[in-house]
């Protein structure tokens, strides 16, 4: 499909659904139990004519796509588990494993991609989408050049993003399929039992603060509260994924994909407090990782009284992720000019989106609704 034949969307870019519907295929989303993967699979499932499968180690139920139980860390296992996906035309690779050792992180995550590509070696692959992130620019280090642009050079510091990209480009050149690399930052969305998600950090911290009758405080340093930050809505990223898989101009390219704005956590927390009807106070620098597990009993009482989903507390939020983001004291800004020039022009107001998604979590009974009364404090 030529780039010129794509349909203009309401924001002057490409309508992902209309573009993909012109040339239906079979999508396989690796890592479909995660926030990014689940949203990507759901978005592909909305496209008329497409067959969609989602591969994950955890059980998936009630999905709009065909679930596959797959262990991609083992080469032989991956071939067996993905045997039913031999007709895949579009691979969306969102699988990831966290490792404390950087060398092991590179080795294990590169193996996930290699094993998946090998398992699909006879599939009629037309396109592969691979996700990276701000670490490609050094967002995990003490400061980096902003706004980050796709043409910025790699870092000397090893990174599994680089290793995966090299593997993918080599395979694409050898086998003749297209590829696109998308770089989101701070993905905001929800997937059951997936705790590495800044939305859940904010939602659960705010809910417990309100339950205890406490003002909502940004749980990080003053400098981090005032630094510019950016996020990527999981639904927006999913639409960019479908767009990339059906747009010739995206082939071989790397694109930053964020909501298109920046904000300060100080302002976001103030807006969230107003939305929830609680007081707001100055930032208070403390460790979420050490503090929030001690409020598990409070959360369990909230689950019972408000009829919330009985997700194990340990699976609800990864507090370490919040501590990392909320102690980043430098601006985190990526340019999205490149992706907009090529045709994907969607954008969102991030603070407004936080409040919208908090309401959605309440509708799904993940957290209490903003209007529900908190319990009286007990001794």
pLDDT exceeds 70 at position 374: no
The tens digit of pLDDT for each residue in 84-113 reads 999 999 999 999 998 888 999 999 999 999
Q: Which residue from 117, 102, 96, 99 is spatially nearest to 166, judged by alpha carbons?
A: 117
pLDDT exceeds 60 at position 352: yes
Q: How far from chain centre, in Å, is Cα 323?
A: 17
Q: How confident is the model at residue 14 (pLDDT cuts 50, 70, 90)?
A: low
Domain boundaries, the chain: 3-187+232-256, 188-230+261-331+348-363
The tens digit of pLDDT for each residue in 353-370 reads 999 999 999 999 999 998
State which CATH number among 3.40.50.2300, 3.40.50.720, 3.40.50.10420, 3.50.50.60 fits the domain covering 3-187+232-256.
Answer: 3.40.50.720
Tokens of 315: 């699976």
The tens digit of pLDDT for each residue in 298-349 reads 999 999 999 999 989 988 999 999 999 999 999 999 999 999 999 999 999 9
Q: How confident is the model at residue 193 (pLDDT cuts 50, 70, 90)?
A: low
Q: How confident is the model at residue 18 (pLDDT cuts 50, 70, 90)?
A: confident
The tens digit of pLDDT for each residue in 208-256 reads 999 999 999 999 999 999 999 999 999 999 999 999 999 999 999 999 9
What pLDDT does 372 receive? 63
Percent of the chain with pLDDT over 70: 93
Whether the CB-CB separation of 332 and 229 falls below 8 Å is answered with yes
pTM of the predicted protein model = 0.92
pLDDT exceeds 70 at position 6: no
Say if residue 46 is exposed, middle or buried (CB neighbours under 10 Å; 0-12, 13-18, 19+).
middle
Look over the chain and give the mean of its residue pLDDT values, rounded to a whole number. Answer: 92
Say if residue 326 is exposed, middle or buried (CB neighbours under 10 Å; 0-12, 13-18, 19+).
buried
């Amino acid at each position: 499909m030529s780039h010129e034949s794509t349909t203009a969307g309401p924001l002057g870019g490409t309508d992902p659904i209309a573009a993909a519907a012109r040339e239906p295929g079979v999508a396989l989303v690796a890592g479909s139990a995660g926030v990014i993967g689940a949203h990507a699979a759901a978005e592909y499932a909305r496209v008329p004519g497409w067959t969609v499968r989602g591969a994950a180690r955890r059980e998936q139920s009630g999905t709009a796509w065909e679930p596959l139980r797959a262990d991609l860390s083992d080469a032989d296992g991956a071939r067996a588990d993905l045997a039913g996906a031999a007709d895949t035309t579009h691979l969306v690779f969102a699988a990831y494993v966290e490792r404390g050792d950087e060398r092991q992180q590179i080795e294990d995550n590169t193996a996930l991609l290699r094993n998946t590509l090998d398992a699909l070696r006879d599939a009629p692959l037309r396109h592969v989408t691979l996700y990276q992130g701000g670490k490609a620019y050094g967002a995990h280090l003490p400061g980096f050049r902003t706004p980050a642009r796709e043409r910025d050079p790699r870092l000397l510091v090893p990174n599994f993003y680089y290793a995966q990209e090299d593997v993918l480009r080599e395979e694409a050149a050898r086998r003749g399929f297209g590829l696109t690399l998308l770089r989101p930052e701070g993905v905001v969305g929800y997937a059951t039992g997936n705790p590495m998600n800044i939305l859940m950090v904010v939602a659960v911290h705010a809910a417990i603060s309100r339950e205890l009758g406490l003002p909502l405080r940004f749980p990080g340093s003053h400098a981090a509260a005032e630094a510019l930050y950016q996020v990527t809505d999981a639904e927006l990223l999913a639409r960019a994924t479908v767009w990339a898989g059906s747009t010739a101009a995206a082939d071989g390219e790397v694109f930053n994909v964020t909501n298109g704005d920046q904000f300060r956590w100080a302002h976001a927390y103030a807006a969230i407090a107003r939305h929830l009807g609680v007081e707001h106070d100055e930032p208070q620098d403390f460790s979420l990782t050490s503090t929030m597990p001690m409020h598990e009993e409070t959360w369990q009482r909230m689950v019972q009284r408000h009829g919330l989903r009985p997700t194990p507390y340990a699976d609800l939020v990864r507090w370490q992720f919040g501590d990392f983001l909320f102690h980043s004291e430098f601006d985190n800004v990526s340019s999205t000019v490149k992706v907009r020039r090529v045709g994907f022009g969607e954008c969102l107001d991030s603070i407004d989106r936080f409040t919208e998604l908090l309401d959605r979590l309440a509708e799904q009974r993940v957290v209490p609704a903003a209007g529900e009364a908190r319990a009286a404090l007990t001794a």
